[in-house]
Amino acid sequence: MHAQAFSFTVETQGFADVHDLTHTVAGFANQANVRNGLVTVFVPGSTASVTTIEYEPGVVDDMKKAIERIAPSAIHYDHDARWGDGNGFAHVRASLLGPSLTIPLVDGMLALGTWQQIILIDFDNRPRNRTVVVQILG
């Protein structure tokens, strides 16, 4: 078993700011020179998530609207009352989607569907510099 780790930074604006990570992650997979295995993409922190969608403006907007319906930003959160930072909604949203994603690597290629891209969503209430960790096992 062979393992390699990579990381990179993404500048985000918060408030469900969405970034396509697919090409960067695929580049690391190519650089790792692993034919078959697993690629894990992870964002440290409790107010951002990694998932997949079809990365196009309509789906991105639909995702933001759905997340607002599930965990509205303009309601009371006990976290905000305790800490006063106003990002309780971001913590809830991030916990629902999760901080990581694992993608099979098959014949040196990420096993993603034709319209499936890897995305980072930053839910915080301010801009951030997010570190993304990519680990490749194979």
What predicted TM-score, i.e. pTM, was given to this entire model?
0.96
8 Å CB contact between 138 and 34: yes
Query: What pLDDT sits at residue 129?
Result: 98
Residues in the chain: 138
Query: In which residue are the tokens 């995702």 written?
Result: 63
Assigned superfamily of 3-137 = YjbQ-like (2.60.120.460)
pLDDT digits (tens, 9 = 90+) for 14-55: 999 999 999 999 999 999 999 999 999 999 999 999 999 999
| Sheet strands side by side (includes 17-20) | 17-20, 117-122, 48-53
pLDDT digits (tens, 9 = 90+) for 63-111: 999 999 999 999 999 999 999 999 999 999 999 999 999 999 999 999 9
Query: In which residue are the tokens 């020179």 written?
Result: 33
Residues 134 and 24: their CA atoms lie apart, in Å, by 10
